[in-house]
Structure 1
C-alpha cells in the first residue's frame, strides 16, 4: 500500500514540476482568476464562498494537468520501444533480482541519454527561455 501511494505521489510531482510546467503555471493563473471572481461567483453559487484560496489554485492546477496524469505513454517512440524491450526481456528470461536491477538501470541510463539528446536539440527560435535570456 505504501509503495502504491509513494509511486502515485512521485508520478504526480513529476508531472506537475517536470513534464508539464506550463500546464501547472496556467493552472495557478486560472485558479487566481477564479479567486478574483470569487465574490461574483458567490452570489450565484453560494458554496463558492466556502472555498479557500488554495482550493481555487488546486482546482486550476488539477484542471490543466488532468490529461498528463492519466496519459500512460511517452511522447518519444524510442523511450516506449526501450521500455517494451525491457519488459519482454524480464518476462521471458529467468533472472535474479540483481540482474533485473542491472537491466532496469541500463534502460534508465539509455532513456536519460535519449531525453538529454532531445533537450539539446531544442529549436532556439521556438525556445522562450533562450529568447528571453539570450
Structure 2
C-alpha cells in the first residue's frame, strides 16, 4: 500500500465523518410518501409494518393474545380522525409529530414524539394532528387468542 499524505488523510477523514452524519438512525421514524399505505380517511393513511403469529416456534408468550400486528397511522397536519371503537387492545406510540387524543372519557391528552399510551378494545378514540407536519402513530395491535 502506498504512502498517504496529510491531504489524503484529511479527505478520507471528512468522507468518513460525512458518511456517519448522513447514516440513517434505525430508531427514527421513516417518512412515508403521501400515497403510501391504505387511506382510512382524507389525510389519514395506514401503513403495515410487521405481523407475527408464533414466537420462535411456540405460541405467543402473552396467553391472552395469539398474534401481534404493528401498523403506522400517518396523520397529515391539522387532520382530525374519529374512531368509534378500537378493534383490539393495543399499545400506541407517537413516532413523530404531536397529536391530541380523546377517548371520550373526559380526559383528553396530548402526545409528542416518543410518548406511549394504551387503548382498550371497544374504546373510542378521536385523534387530531396539532402540529405543522405529518404525525405518525405506531400501533401495536394485540390480537386475541
Higher helix share: 1
Whose RCO is larger (CA < 8 A, sep 6+)?
A: 2
Q: Work out whether the TM-score is over 0.5.
A: no
TM-score by length of 1: 0.22
TM-score by length of 2: 0.21
Higher strand share: 2
